[in-house]
Amino acid sequence: MTQTNLPRMHNVGIVVESLDSAISFFEDIGLRLEGRATIDEEWTGRVTGLGQQQVEIAMMATSDGHNRLELSKFLKPETISDHRKVPVNSLGYLRVMFTVENLDELVVKLTQKGAELVGDVVNYENIYRLCYIRGVEGLLVGLAEELG
């Protein structure tokens, strides 16, 4: 039996302190900026449950156009917690992973710009080379290079 109305993911949201730095970081990985805006309309606070809010967002898209990251900098209300440095076994949403073409080259590029390799680059069953990096603002990002 074929299901025709399968849900598709629209985006993953990441709250940041510096929208410019985050945009630059994800552009280095290969995403492109689709748009940027400040939103302070009444309906947004109703959706998030925060009440009156003002947020600057940037929508980043993968090169195939199928996946997006929504980067958000909250101007009002202020952010209230920070879990950017938690280890990878923490509960909740933690990281986003991208398939990349040249893992070693990208890791060098990102570490030269301040990112940190979390552990090692590993080979998973000769299917992928994988690693985690902590990028701008301590954001945890997975990188996967398909082999063969």
Give the three-class secondary structure for 111: helix
Closest C-alpha to 138, from 74, 72, 88, 78:
88
Amino acid at 13: G
Question: Residues 76-116: pLDDT tens digits?
Answer: 998 888 887 788 788 777 789 999 999 999 999 999 999 99
How many C-beta neighbours within 10 Å does residue 103 have?
A: 19
Question: Residues 68-86: pLDDT tens digits?
Answer: 999 999 999 988 888 877 8
Q: Which domains does the chain have, with CATH numbers?
A: 8-78 (3.10.180.10), 94-148 (3.10.180.10)
pTM of the model: 0.86
